[in-house]
Amino acid sequence: MKCAERALPDFGVDVDWYTTRERTYEEVLPWDHLDSGLDKDWLWEDWQDALDETEVDDCRWTPCFDCGVCPAMQTEIQVGPTGKKLLPLSVIK
Cis bond upstream, residue 63 (ω within 30) = no
The answer to whether residue 15 forms part of the interface with ligand SF4 (CB under 6 A) is no
**Per-position x/- string for 49-88, each x denoting binding to ligand SF4 as judged by CB under 6 A, each - no binding:** ----------x----xxxx-xx------x-----------
CB-facing half-sphere around the CA of 41: CA atoms within 13 A: 4
Closest contact distance (angstroms) between CB of 42 and ligand SF4 is 8
Q: Which is nearer to ligand SF4, 6 or 60 (CB)?
A: 60
How many residues interact with ligand SF4 (rule CB under 6 A)? 8
Q: How far is CA 6 from CA 16, 17, 19, 20, 22, in A?
A: 12, 15, 15, 16, 22
